[in-house]
Amino acid sequence: LLRVLDAAAEAAGRDAYWTISDASRDTLYRKLRDRVMVEGLRFHDLRATALTWLSKRVDVMTLARISGHVDINELFNTYYRETAEDIAARL
C-alpha cells in the first residue's frame, strides 16, 4: 500500500499522497468529535494510538516516513513499546 501511495504522490508531483492542511484536518476532526459527543479526545491521541499500533508492524524508519517524524529517537522512545515477549517472538 505504501508503495502505491508513494507512486501516486510521485506521479502527481507531490511529496506526499495526502495533501490536507493541518488547519483543515483539525477543523474536520473537531466537527466529527463533537458530532459523536466525545469529550476530551484530542487528534494527537488518535495519532499516538495509530502510531503505536503501526510500530508493531513496521520498522522505525518506515514509521518515521509514515508519521513525518524527523527525530528517530523521539519516535522510537515514544511509540516502540516492545515487551520481552514481543522481541522473543521475532527471534
Going by C-alpha positions, the residue among 14, 49, 8, 46 that lies closest to residue 30 is 46
The three cell numbers locating residue 79 = 511509540
Please determine, for residue 84, whether its predicted confidence score (pLDDT) is greater than 70. Answer: yes
- Are 24 and 52 in contact by the 8 Å Cβ rule? The answer is no
Q: Where are the domains of the chain?
A: 1-39, 42-91
Question: Is residue 11 predicted with pLDDT exceeding 80?
Answer: no
Instruction: Indicate the pTM of the whole model.
Output: 0.57
Mean pLDDT across the stretch 62-76?
Answer: 86
Gap between the Cα atoms of 91 and 26, Å rounded: 41
